[in-house]
C-alpha cells in the first residue's frame, strides 16, 4: 500500500490556554503530544501546518449568531452578566469563561476546518487536528468542556465536496452534538461508541437512530464499565466495516477521544494504547481519506502517548518506532517506565456479563442491514 500523505495541524499557542485550576480538560496535552512527535522525528514525515484561526462568521455556519456574538466577547469578569447568572450559553462548572476562551475555540475549529479543506483539495489523504474533536458543543450553548463544535464545522466543509461523510467517535462519552446536528440527514452517518448508564451526557441509547431522511443513519453503541481491547475490537470491526459497506462514505472523520483508555481520570473503560490505535489502523486500511481528531483524554500523559502512536499509525511507521521514549522536555511526566504504552488494569469487563456486548453488536448490525 502506498504511503499516505499526512497533514498535521498544530498551533504553538494552543497549549497555553487553561480551563482553570483543577479543571480536568488540559490543553497542554496538545503541546506535550507535539513535543513527543518532535522527539520522535515525525514532523519531517508529514506536512506540519498552522491553520488560520476560525472567524466568528465561519462558526455561524452551525452556531447561532447570538451565541457566537456572546462567546467572542465574554471574559472571566463579564461572564456572570453575559450568561444571565449562568442560565444561558455557559451553564455550570464544566464550561468556564476562561481567559482566551474564544481564541482557544478558534484554534480548535480553525484546525478542523483546515484539515477538511486539505482533504477536499486533494493535498492530503489523512489530516490530523489533535486540538479538535469537541463533540458536545451545541448550536446555541456550550456543553461538556466543548464551546464550538469543530467537528460539525469540519463535516459541513466536507459536504460541500462529498456526497457522504462517515463520522466515528471512540471517545468514552456519547458524541451528542454531532449526532444532533446531522440527525435528519442521510448524507452524514454518525457512529458513537460510548459508556452508557449514569454517565454524561446521558444520551446515546440504541433506540436513537435518526429521524426523517436520517432514520437509521445515527448509530449508537452503548457500552459498560471495563471494556477491554478484545471486546472493543469485537464490536468496532464488524460495525465499522458494515457501516462503510452499506454507506459507501467518500471520507471518514474519526474522533479519537482518549478517555476510553484504561486509567483515564473521567473514563471507565480498560482499553490499551494499542487497542485504541487499532481503530485508526482499521480505518486506514479501508483506503478512504480520513481526518483524525482529538477529544477527551484526562490522564494527560496517556492521551499524549496515544495520539503520538496514532500519528505514527497514520504515517504507517508504527512498527518502526522505539517504545522507549526519546528524551524530551516533558520526559519526567512519563516515569517510572518512560515508555510509549498504556497498559490494561484488572477491571472486570462488565460488557461480557449476561451477553450485553453480543446483543448491542447484533442490534447495531441489524440497523445497518435495514439500510440496504
Residues belonging to the active site: 136
Helix axes 229-247, 356-369, angle to 10 degrees: 10
Secondary structure E strands in the chain:
6-9, 47-49, 126-129, 165-169, 188-195, 218-223, 251-255, 290-293
| Residue showing the smallest CB distance to ligand ZLM in the complex | 296
Q: Of Zn ion, ligand ZLM, Ca ion, none, which one does residue 192 interact with (CB within 5 to 8 Å by kind)? A: Ca ion
Q: With residue 105 as reference, give the H or E element that holds it.
A: helix 101-120
| Cell, residue 345 | 488494569
Under rule CB under 5 A, how many of the chain's residues touch Ca ion? 5
Stretch that binds ligand ZLM, among 76-84, 121-129, 131-139, 283-291 (CB under 6 A): 131-139
257 binds ligand ZLM (CB under 6 A): yes
| CA dist., res. 124 & res. 111, Å (int) | 14
Nearest residue (beta carbon) to Zn ion: 296
Residue pair 299/273 in contact (Cβ under 8 Å)? The answer is no
Which member of 169, 259, 310, 318 binds Ca ion (CB under 5 A)?
169
The contacts of residue 74 (CB under 8 Å, 6+ apart) are: 82, 83, 89, 90, 97, 101, 102
- Dump the DSSP string for 186-231: SSEEEEEEEE-SS-TT----TT----GGGTT-EEEEEE-TT-BHHH
From the list 180, 229, 259, 310, which residue makes contact with Zn ion (rule: CB under 5 A)? Answer: 259
Work out whether 138 is an interface residue with ligand ZLM (CB under 6 A): no
Among 125, 141, 169, 171, indicate the residue that binds Zn ion (CB under 5 A).
171
Cβ closer to Ca ion: 194 or 209? Answer: 194
What's the CA gap between 133 and 253, in Å, rounded? 10
Q: Which of residues 19-78 bind ligand ZLM (CB under 6 A)?
A: 22-24
169 binds Zn ion (CB under 5 A): no
Number of residues that bind ligand ZLM (CB under 6 A): 20
Q: Which is nearer to Zn ion, 45 or 305 (CB)?
A: 305
Q: Phi and psi for 291 in degrees, rounded to 5?
A: -120, 130
Give yes or no for residue 333 binding ligand ZLM (CB under 6 A). Answer: no
Number of other residues whose CB lies within 10 A of the CB of residue 274: 16
Determine, following the binding rule CB under 6 A, whether residue 92 of this chain makes contact with ligand ZLM: yes
Q: Which of the residues 188 through 217 are near Ca ion (CB under 5 A)? A: 192, 194
User: Using N-to-C axis directions, what is the helix angle for 28-39 and 300-315, rounded to 10°?
Assistant: 50
Q: For residue 3, which phi and psi values (nearest 5 degrees)? A: -55, 140
Min separation Cβ 291 and Ca ion, Å: 16
The reply on whether position 171 binds Ca ion by CB under 5 A is yes
Q: How far is CA 177 from the centre of its chain?
A: 12
Nearer to ligand ZLM, 259 or 344 (CB): 259
Q: Identify the residue among 173, 224, 284, 305 touching ligand ZLM (CB under 6 A).
A: 173
295 binds ligand ZLM (CB under 6 A): yes
Distance of CA 238 to the CA centre of its chain: 20
Please report, as ranges, the residues that interact with ligand ZLM according to CB under 6 A.
Answer: 22-24, 92-94, 134-136, 144-146, 171, 173, 200, 257, 259, 266, 295-296
Q: Which residues would be at the binding site for Zn ion (CB under 5 A)? A: 171-173, 257, 259, 296
In the complex, the residues that contact Ca ion under the rule CB under 5 A are: 169, 171, 175, 192, 194
Amino acid at each position: 500500500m502506498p504511503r499516505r500523505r499526512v497533514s498535521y495541524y498544530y498551533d504553538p499557542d494552543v497549549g497555553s490556554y487553561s480551563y482553570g485550576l483543577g479543571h480536568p480538560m488540559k490543553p497542554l496535552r496538545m503541546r506535550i503530544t507535539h513535543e513527543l512527535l518532535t522527539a520522535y522525528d515525525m514532523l519531517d514525515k508529514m506536512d506540519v501546518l498552522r491553520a488560520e484561526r476560525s472567524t466568528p462568521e465561519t462558526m455561524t455556519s452551525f452556531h447561532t449568531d447570538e451565541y457566537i456574538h456572546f462567546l467572542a466577547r465574554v471574559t472571566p469578569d463579564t461572564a456572570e452578566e453575559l450568561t444571565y447568572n449562568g442560565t444561558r450559553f455557559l451553564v455550570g462548572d464544566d464550561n468556564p469563561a476562561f481567559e482566551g476562551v474564544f481564541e482557544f475555540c478558534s484554534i480548535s475549529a480553525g484546525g478542523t476546518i483546515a484539515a477538511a479543506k486539505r482533504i477536499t483539495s486533494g493535498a492530503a489523504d489523512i489530516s490530523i487536528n489533535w486540538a479538535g474533536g469537541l463533540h458536545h458543543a451545541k448550536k446555541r450553548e456550550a456543553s461538556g468542556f466543548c464551546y464550538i463544535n469543530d467537528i460539525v464545522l469540519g463535516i459541513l466543509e466536507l459536504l460541500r465536496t462529498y456526497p457522504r461523510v462517515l463520522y466515528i467517535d471512540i471517545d468514552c462519552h456519547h458524541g451528542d452534538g454531532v449526532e444532533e446536528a446531522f440527525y435528519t440527514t442521510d448524507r452524514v452517518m454518525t457512529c458513537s461508541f460510548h459508556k452508557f448508564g449514569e454517565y454524561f451526557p446521558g444520551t446515546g441509547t440504541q433506540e436513537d437512530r435518526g429521524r426523517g431522511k436520517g432514520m437509521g443513519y445515527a448509530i449508537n453503541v452503548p457500552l459498560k464499565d471495563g471494556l477491554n481491547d478484545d471486546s472493543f475490537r469485537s464490536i468496532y470491526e464488524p460495525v465499522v466495516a458494515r457501516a462503510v459497506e452499506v454507506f459507501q462514505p467518500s471520507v471518514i472523520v474519526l474522533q479519537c477521544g482518549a478517555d476510553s483508555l484504561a486509567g483515564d481520570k473521567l473514563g471507565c473503560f480498560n482499553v490499551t494504547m494499542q487497542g485504541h490505535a487499532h481503530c485508526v489502523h482499521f480505518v486506514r486500511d479501508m483506503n478512504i481519506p480520513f481526518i483524525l481528531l482529538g477529544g477527551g483524554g484526562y490522564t494527560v500523559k496517556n492521551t499524549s502517548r496515544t495520539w503520538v502512536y496514532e500519528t505514527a499509525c497514520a504515517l504507517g511507521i508504527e512498527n518502526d518506532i522505539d517504545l522507549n521514549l526519546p528524551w524530551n522536555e516533558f520526559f519526567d511526566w512519563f516515569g517510572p517506565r518512560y515508555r510509549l504504552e498504556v497498559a490494561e488494569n484488572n477491571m472486570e469487563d462488565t460488557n461480557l456479563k449476561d451477553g450485553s456486548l453480543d446483543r448491542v453488536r447484533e442490534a447495531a448490525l441489524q440497523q445497518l442491514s435495514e439500510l440496504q
